[in-house]
Amino acid sequence: MGNREQRFEIELGAGAWIDVRHARDPEKEWDWAAVLTVEFGCQRRAVFLYDNAHGPPERHRYRRGVKMEAEALSPRSSARLDLPAAIEEIKAKWEGMVERWEP
């Protein structure tokens, strides 16, 4: 596998998906992102982004196409466990996140 980035999507239904990417990282152990996206018009638009771009896991809301300030999340014992936790949170809360979203 090396440092190759892997990408996949998880369909949630009703025109909503989680776009996931991850790769090994020498500094963080695991570099990852999970983005809740929805179909809006003829495009997919980001609603929430979960990632560890700056080390610990964070969540960003999107408002009118602009990524808002990060909200720190409680890290698990390993970066490899943070991604599954983010995916599970999105799966559990995606409908409410989309309802509050401002396109």
Structure confidence by residue, pLDDT tens digits, 14-35: 899 999 999 998 888 899 999 9
Give the chain's mean pLDDT.
94
Phi, psi at 81, each rounded to 5°: -90, -20
Render pLDDT for 33-48 as a digit per residue (tens, 0 to 9). 999 999 999 999 999 9
8 A C-beta contact, residue 33 and residue 41? no
The 10 Å Cβ neighbour count of residue 61 is 19
Number of domains in the chain: 1
Whether 66 is covered by a domain: the verdict is: yes
* Residue the block writes with tokens 């152990």: 29
Record the pTM: 0.93
Pairwise CA distance, residues 97 & 49, whole Å: 11
Range of the domain at 84: 6-100
Query: Three-state SS for 54?
Result: coil
Whether 1 is covered by a domain: the verdict is: no
